[in-house]
Amino acid sequence: MPVTQHLLRWRGAWILAAAALASAAAGLWLSRSGAAAVRFEKPVTIVVTFPPGGGTDLLARRLGAALQQRLGQPVMVENRPGASGNIGARAVAEAVPDGATLLMVNSSFAINPGVYRHLDFDPRRDFKAVFNAGTIASVLVVPEQSSVRDLRDALAGSTAERPLPFASCGNGTPQHMAGEMLAQATHVSLQHVPYKGCGPAITAVAAGQVPLAVVTASSAAPLMAAGRVRAIAITAPARAAQLPDVPTVAEQGVAGFAVEQWHGLLAPAATPEPVVNHLHEALAQILAEPGMQQSLREQGYTPARETPAQFGQLIAADIDRYAAVAARLGLKVD
């Protein structure tokens, strides 16, 4: 039996044992009336699969600070970057399923299964969706001095012999996938130019090194405000409140096109339902606060309103969708 299957079988057995222990512990969290009264015996840790300072990290810290006040106990953020988030994900998959260890991820979590040849965890079976904080769209940007005014202009000069270069935030990122999905939907040849992050990608466009980039709306905002780049389309299904004058890709003739990047929290698969529901309710109350809503919107997020089950369905659907794109591109990492 291959080593990967051995690992997954061992993890399955471990999860079953952990579930029994977690369920027993959950019994201690029931009040005399029988209502769930969840409490944690140790600080809650949110593992972020990206370095400090990025959008996902900042969102985790904002939610963590609010969750600490809501729960009345310490909440810490721990950065475990590497291997496109797989290092941190494995750590949480193997954590005690008591709700005190959570994983903060974005859509890259759903992309990795279709890109990496070998994962020593199962993204579908080793995690339980807890809370989708919100989505953020990507934008297609061109240099401010470019004569391109809309999506049709941008794609007009591309041919099979001379594909249009487009920059993204890196190989296998949601922005890379959005660009490839656009190429497939429009039957236009695009040449991917990966950068190590959205910041370098949009800087390259501003400098005229690349004619087009697909980057997060939040990363594009500063250079758009400075008049160095211009957004010609947004990948969301609807226009963003922060960019009301930027039309969607779908509005510009690509019917049904919609790619958004979600950011949410997961727990180990065997985490008891009462604990998941308790965390979800606390986070939903935090997200409902006007100050948090405004803060997220100012950063380019659209707050989400999904149940844990709905968030889990979204993740599963994106795993399938991105796997199909990766297979078509032959995109694989050992």
Predicted local confidence at residue 258, as pLDDT: 95
Structure tokens, 108: 């890259």
- Are both 37 and 147 inside the same structural domain? no
Answer whether residue 32 shows pLDDT above 50.
Answer: no
Higher pLDDT, 31 or 297: 297
C-alpha 62/C-alpha 80 separation (Å) is 18
- Are both 62 and 182 inside the same structural domain? no
Answer whether residue 246 shows pLDDT above 60.
Answer: yes
Answer whether residue 28 shows pLDDT above 80.
Answer: no
C-alpha 54/C-alpha 4 separation (Å) is 32
Higher pLDDT, 13 or 317: 317
Answer whether residue 112 shows pLDDT above 90.
Answer: yes
Q: How many domains does the chain have?
A: 2
> Between vectors from CA 136 to CA 131 and to CA 139, what angle results, nearest 5°?
165
Region of poorest pLDDT, from 199-208, 216-225, 253-262: 216-225
- Are both 176 and 63 inside the same structural domain? no
Predicted local confidence at residue 151, as pLDDT: 97
C-alpha 213/C-alpha 116 separation (Å) is 24
Q: Residue range 261-269: average pLDDT?
A: 97
Predicted local confidence at residue 84, as pLDDT: 78
Helix (H) or strand (E) holding 47: strand 44-48
Please answer whether residues 138 and 175 qualify as being in contact, where contact means their C-beta atoms are separated by less than 8 angstroms.
Answer: yes
In a domain, 82, yes or no: yes
Predicted local confidence at residue 271, as pLDDT: 97
Please answer whether residues 185 and 257 qualify as being in contact, where contact means their C-beta atoms are separated by less than 8 angstroms.
Answer: yes
- Are both 266 and 204 inside the same structural domain? no
Most confident option among 95-109, 295-309, 319-333:
95-109
Q: What is the pLDDT of residues 226-242, one digit of tens each?
A: 999 999 999 999 999 88
- Are both 176 and 161 inside the same structural domain? yes
C-alpha 312/C-alpha 67 separation (Å) is 21
- Are both 210 and 167 inside the same structural domain? yes
Predicted local confidence at residue 224, as pLDDT: 95
- Are both 198 and 78 inside the same structural domain? no
Predicted local confidence at residue 334, as pLDDT: 64
- Are both 150 and 243 inside the same structural domain? yes
Answer whether residue 37 shows pLDDT above 90.
Answer: no
Q: Which of 252, 275, 295 is the last residue of a domain?
A: 252
Predicted local confidence at residue 332, as pLDDT: 84
Answer whether residue 5 shows pLDDT above 60.
Answer: no
Answer whether residue 260 shows pLDDT above 60.
Answer: yes
Q: What is the pLDDT of residues 81-108, one digit of tens each?
A: 888 789 999 999 999 999 999 999 999 9
Higher pLDDT, 299 or 216: 216
**Could you give the percent of the chain with pLDDT greater than 70?**
89
Structure tokens, 4: 């990967």
168 is in which domain, residue-wise?
136-252
Long-range residue pairs from 30-39, CB within 8 A, at least 24 positions apart, any chain: 36/274, 36/277, 36/278, 38/99, 38/274, 38/275, 38/278, 38/279, 39/73
In a domain, 334, yes or no: no
Closest to 211 in 3D by CA, of 161, 153, 136, 138: 153
C-alpha 172/C-alpha 95 separation (Å) is 26
C-alpha 270/C-alpha 197 separation (Å) is 34
Q: Residue range 157-168: average pLDDT?
A: 94
C-alpha 223/C-alpha 233 separation (Å) is 16
Structure tokens, 31: 């009040």
- Are both 130 and 34 inside the same structural domain? yes
Q: Which of 200, 224, 252 is the last residue of a domain?
A: 252
- Are both 163 and 127 inside the same structural domain? no
Helix axes 108-115, 308-329, angle to 10 degrees: 40
- Are both 127 and 215 inside the same structural domain? no
Please answer whether residues 279 and 103 qualify as being in contact, where contact means their C-beta atoms are separated by less than 8 angstroms.
Answer: no
Predicted local confidence at residue 7, as pLDDT: 44
Q: Which of 252, 272, 307 is the last residue of a domain?
A: 252
Structure tokens, 6: 């051995």
Q: Residue range 291-312: average pLDDT?
A: 92
Q: What is the CATH number of the domain that holds 63?
A: 3.40.190.150
Please answer whether residues 93 and 11 qualify as being in contact, where contact means their C-beta atoms are separated by less than 8 angstroms.
Answer: yes
**How many Å separate Cα 87 from the centre of its chain?**
16
Q: What is the CATH number of the domain that holds 203?
A: 3.40.190.10
In a domain, 205, yes or no: yes
Using DSSP, state whether 182 is helix, strand or coil.
Answer: helix
In a domain, 320, yes or no: yes
Region of poorest pLDDT, from 5-14, 110-119, 157-166, 213-222: 5-14
Structure tokens, 91: 């750590």
- Are both 40 and 128 inside the same structural domain? yes
DSSP per-residue letters across 59-124: HHHHHHHHHHHHHTS-EEEEE---GGGHHHHHHHHTS-SSSSEEEEEETHHHHHHHHBS--SS-TT
Q: Residue range 171-196: average pLDDT?
A: 94
In a domain, 202, yes or no: yes
In a domain, 257, yes or no: no
C-alpha 285/C-alpha 287 separation (Å) is 5
In a domain, 243, yes or no: yes
